[in-house]
């Protein structure tokens, strides 16, 4: 669940963008006394996410509108499934329609794509992670949608985990200098992860204590070798994570190497919206 204040701010901005000074079409064509029922239908199979944003949109447009869920966040739906109903003033339902659906379609698309990746690695022990490749301002909602789809969240931002990547290593002057600098400065005891590009760099990293090693753009063969090498290392074994161009077609082979985590940026940067429609009837 995201912070209520964050969702409220996002919805307020979305309504300001969409409604602006007024929904003149609705105000000039729909009588003020008209009441209606609006039904949201899934036009494709998927996983629902984003109910929190729907409720907040309705609340901001008209607190008198009522919402009835037929399915909830994280539920799988088939084509034709009734997702939710809205009851209230017809003008209010029409004003809320697009913003509510935009949130619900976008977030359900992320949950749906995440579930497909989770299902693709079922039984291997690998866990699916998101990344920071999110829509600006939408990160909390999009990461919540990943969880609804059965995935897990990587770090939320730059502040809650140390992730030393290729450019950090280059700017620091090498793996040794980067890791030693973090060890010296990490008075917050943040978890530490470091990216390696090949098996040689992996050997260098295994001389230090880290929480997780990111095996980036490894072939399946090298990834399997790297995972086995980490498991054979002395002391506390760091977790392993694979990333880099992994698709639904290739992810099973990656998971079968024994890697602990697989991070997939596409979950949030390339998920197609789930096709949903809203049908309104006067009551």
Active-site residue flag, 139: no
Catalytic residue, chosen from 52, 216, 241, 260, is: 216
Please give the Cα distance from 129 to 151 (Å, whole number): 6
Burial 55-66 (b: 16+ CB within 10 A, else e): bbbbebbbeebe
195 is catalytic: yes
For the record, the structure tokens of 120 come out as 């693709």
- Whether residue 99 contacts residue 16, with contact meaning beta carbons closer than 8 Å, is answered with no
CA angle 24, 86, 41 (to 5 degrees): 100
Residue 216 a catalytic site member = yes
Q: Which of 165, 176, 197, 252 is flagged as catalytic?
A: 165
Q: Sheet containing 162-164: which strands, arranged edge to edge? A: 127-129, 261-263, 239-243, 212-216, 192-196, 162-164
Give long-range contacts, CB 8 A cutoff, 24+ apart: 68-75: 72/48, 73/48, 73/49, 73/111, 73/148, 74/47, 74/48, 74/49, 74/111, 74/148, 74/149, 74/150, 75/47, 75/48
Residue 133 is among the residues annotated as catalytic for this protein: yes
- Which positions ≥6 away from 87 have C-beta within 8 Å? 35, 36, 37, 38, 65, 66, 68, 283
Catalytic residue among 195, 201, 241, 260: 195
Q: Write the DSSP assignment of 126-139 as a string of letters.
A: -EEE--S---TT-H
Q: Which of 12, 59, 82, 98 is catalytic?
A: 98
Given 133, 155, 176, 229, the catalytic residue: 133
Residues forming the active site: 98, 133, 165, 195, 216
């Amino acid at each position: 669940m995201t912070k209520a204040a964050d969702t409220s701010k996002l919805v307020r901005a979305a309504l300001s963008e969409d409604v602006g000074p007024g929904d003149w079409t609705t105000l000039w064509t729909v009588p003020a006394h008209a009441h209606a029922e609006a039904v949201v239908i899934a036009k494709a199979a998927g996983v629902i996410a984003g109910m929190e944003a729907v409720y907040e949109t309705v609340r901001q447009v008209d607190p008198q509108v009522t919402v009835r869920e037929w399915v909830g966040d994280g539920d799988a739906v088939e084509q034709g499934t009734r997702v939710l109903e809205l009851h209230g003033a017809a003008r209010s339902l029409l004003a809320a329609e697009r913003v509510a659906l935009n949130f619900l379609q976008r977030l359900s698309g992320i949950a749906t794509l995440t579930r497909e990746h989770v299902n693709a690695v079922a039984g291997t022990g690998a866990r699916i992670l998101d990344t920071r490749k999110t829509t600006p301002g939408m990160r909390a909602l999009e990461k919540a949608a990943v969880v609804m789809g059965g995935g897990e969240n990587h770090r939320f931002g730059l502040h809650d985990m140390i992730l030393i990547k290729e450019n950090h290593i280059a700017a620091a002057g090498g793996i040794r200098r980067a890791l030693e600098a973090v060890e010296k400065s990490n008075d917050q005891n943040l978890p530490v992860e470091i990216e390696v590009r090949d098996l040689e760099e992996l050997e260098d990293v295994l001389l230090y204590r880290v929480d997780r090693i990111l095996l980036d753009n490894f072939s399946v063969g090298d990834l399997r070798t790297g995972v086995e090498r980490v498991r054979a290392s002395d002391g506390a074994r760091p977790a392993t994570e694979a990333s880099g161009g992994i698709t639904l077609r290739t992810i099973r082979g990656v998971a079968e190497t024994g890697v602990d985590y697989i991070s997939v940026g596409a979950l949030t940067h390339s998920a197609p919206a789930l096709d949903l429609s809203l049908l309104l009837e006067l009551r």
